[in-house]
Amino acid sequence: MEPRRYGGKGGPILGRRGPGAAPGPGGARAAGGVVQDSEVRATIRLKLIAALVAGLAAIAAATAVLMKFVHERAIALAAEQVVAAASTALGDLSALEISHMSGLLDALLEDERLADAFEAGDRARLLALASPRFEALRARQGITHWYFHPAHPERDGVFLRVHRPELHGDPVRRELVARAAATLRETSGTELGRTAYAVRVVRPWLRGGRLIGFVELGQDIQAFLARMKAMTHDDYGLLLAKERLDRGAWAAVARGRDRWDDRPELLAVETTTGDEAILGDLGALADVPAAPAVLGQAARGARVVARGVFPLRGDGATIGAVVVEHDVTPLHAGVREVRGRVIALVALLATGLAALVVFLLETLVLERLQRMTRLLENLPDRLARGEYEVELGPARDDEVGRFEAFFARALREVGSFVADERRERRGAARRGGDDASG
């Protein structure tokens, strides 16, 4: 029987590298098909980088979408607050003006000349006395309506409209006047008349304990809208229900083009912009929401405005609406700037996190896999040199560390087996030599 062949230093021929075997570390591929550690690491790195790039792109896209949603919602909430604030401001201004007009009535009813002409039923003299006072009140106090009503206004009609003296004698069926007549107390509120929606104060005029009639002061809502624009820099438009207005009276007071037939149920009364673009396509009472609401956004040249609307109420029903336009161009610019900064920050943090992940993976996994790969590639030479001990660096109590410990034990077992096999072969060779010499 032919003895087994050994390599140098008595090592088995198995430990030798033949001509077709793979070179040592740094070679392309071992004969047994072992993939290079650099190739493995390159493949893992490429896959990891591709996954991280895809993850970063997904994070950036999700952040952009989320920020767009958040900022659009923020702009919508800001617009809602503007519309609600406009509705509240109109109510506050109305209450303030009611108190103001009540004080003006205190002064007017002290004028005995007005009382004499009113009690005597002398409309011309009353108009002559009241007209200069009314012009002063309109110029300085913003008063737009001044009425004198008889003791029975619903039956006898308006005695004198100082602001429109040609209109008189028509029955007065408005709630504020009816309440004042029924209670003989001052009444006030916002009410729709034949031609206007106005804040009004009605007070009975008692002379010597005897009722001689009622005096009413009012201020159109249009004047309030102009004051609100001066305070907020927002624009406003007023729509009133046509069913509550007198078309003939409206035609008499309308300035410029008659807009009565432009919309089915609502009449465009006034806008602070000078045109009706602010009103949009609101035309029916059903289009008016029950509470302040945002209608959307619109472009006005280089500006972007948020549009909203709130209802006007009277006699327990909706009798009109006020449209609000708030310039949100600066808000959009600020939102774009913040969104860009947030996306850049998220991308920077994600890139830093990705770099940390790559570093940790390189340090904790890939380098240790590389050591084990080199050890496997060098194993035949080590065994051939009789080096059976394996050193893989400091032990670590993690997943890769436990695998390294198992790997080291396996290699030591292989080394021990090879060492035993060598000793057995050497002993057999010596015994065979002794037998031959004997």
- Over range 110-114, report the average pLDDT: 95
pLDDT digits (tens, 9 = 90+) for 359-388: 887 777 777 777 777 777 777 777 677 666
CA torsion 49-55-61-67 (nearest 10°) is -120
pLDDT digits (tens, 9 = 90+) for 329-349: 888 888 778 878 887 888 888
Closest CA relative to residue 259, chosen from 236, 275, 235: 275
Instruction: Copy the structure tokens of residue 332.
Output: 């959009």
Residue range 232-248: average pLDDT? 88
- Percent of the chain whose predicted confidence (pLDDT) is above 70: 83
274: left (phi over 0), alpha (psi -120 to 50) or beta: left
Q: What integer pLDDT is reported at residue 126 of this predicted model? A: 97
Which residues share a beta bridge with 323? 237, 309
| pLDDT value at residue 433 | 66
Residue-wise pLDDT tens digits, 21-37: 444 444 444 444 444 55
Let me know: does 323 contact 278? Beta carbons within 8 Å: yes
Q: Higher-confidence residue: 42 or 203?
A: 203
Distance from C-alpha of 124 to C-alpha of 110, rounded to nearest angstrom = 20
How far apart, in whole angstroms, are the C-alpha atoms of residue 307 and residue 279?
9
pLDDT at residue 223 in the model: 83
C-alpha–C-alpha distance, residues 141 and 69, integer Å = 47
Neighbours of 60 (CB within 10 A): 15
Give the phi and the psi of residue 296 in degrees, each rounded to 5: 130, -165
What is the pLDDT, as a whole number, of residue 5? 36
Pairing of strands 293-300, 303-314: antiparallel
Rounded Cα–Cα distance for residues 381 and 185 (Å): 117
At 61 the pLDDT is 83
The ranges assigned to domains in the chain are: 233-327
pLDDT in tens, 393-430: 666 667 777 777 777 777 777 777 777 777 788 777 77
In this structure, the chain runs to a length of: 438
Q: Is the pLDDT of residue 3 over 70?
A: no
Mean pLDDT computed over every residue of the chain: 81
The whole-number pLDDT of residue 205 equals 96
Average pLDDT of the residues in 212-238: 91
pLDDT over 70 (residue 257): no
